[in-house]
Copies of this chain bind each other. A is one copy, B any other.
């Protein structure tokens, strides 16, 4: 096995035949998470004193991710789908490569002291690397299983969403009618009342706005009780859908052989 083939086997998730994720990709995953953590912490003003430390980390990440990107590009033709002359260019222009490039460029900018403001946020684009995992065998199967269960019940879930939407807007309209006079700031329009309705029906309940009139409290009370159904309905549909999906998977495994 050539060195380039070995590199490719380590970097390409589809190429790795030992179960799970290859050691190199595992390391990269750890680096991605560390780099995201550093980028998140860098935005905190009270940690400004640690800025040089964060920048050194970013230098390490910048070098590592640049090397990884170059290696990936160099070894890609080992993949039969990219073996043709234009394969590398195609890979280079794929959206995930461009996202990676943006993230790496943002890291280099920070190293050279130009990564201020919203540019810093671009570094977090690397987070999307986590979707890679879905292409590894065991995780990928679970994703497909869950996703197919959700898709098979998409009409039911859509109905639950429509119902939630209707309750949301009706609650907002009702509170707008009865509370607008008492609290024009919080309930003076339907979009304003929607802020209250979302906080109530999802049971978040910030408590920044709430009805103060008797009528408003009675309607809000019923809306709050409805929130139980709004949470229980999709939970019930998903539970039934997953139950179905898991049974199918088991039946399929049984049909294949007695070792499952």
Contact = CB atoms under 8 A, between A and B. Distances in A.
B234 A242 contact: no
Nearest to A227: B202
B225 A124 contact: no
A243 interface: yes
A231 interface: yes
Given A206-B210, A221-B194, A243 B239 contact: yes
A117 to B, nearest CB: 10
A138 B198 CA distance: 29
Nearest to A118: B177
Contact of A204 (B121, B146, B227): B227
Nearest to A234: B232
A115 interface: no
Interface in A216-260: 217, 221, 224-225, 227-247, 250
B217 A195 contact: yes
A78 interface: no
B162 A156 contact: no
Given A40-B190, A239-B242, A243-B243, A156 B146 contact: yes
A134 B142 CA distance: 30
Nearest to A36: B169
A202 B228 contact: yes
Question: Looking at chain A's contact residues, is the secondary structure mostly helix, strand, loop, or mixed?
Answer: helix
Contact of A177 (B121, B173, B205): B121
B143 A159 contact: yes
Nearest to A232: B235
A145 interface: yes
Interface stretch (A1-9, A41-49, A88-96, A103-111): A41-49
B228 A230 contact: yes
A43 B142 contact: no
B244 A235 contact: no
Contact of A198 (B164, B189, B225): B225
A229 to B, nearest CB: 7
Interface in A110-125: 118, 121, 124
11 contacts: A41-B191, A121-B176, A145-B156, A199-B205, A202-B224, A206-B206, A206-B207, A236-B242, A239-B239, A240-B245, A243-B244
| Interface pairs A-B: 3 shortest CB-CB | A236-B238, A239-B239, A204-B205
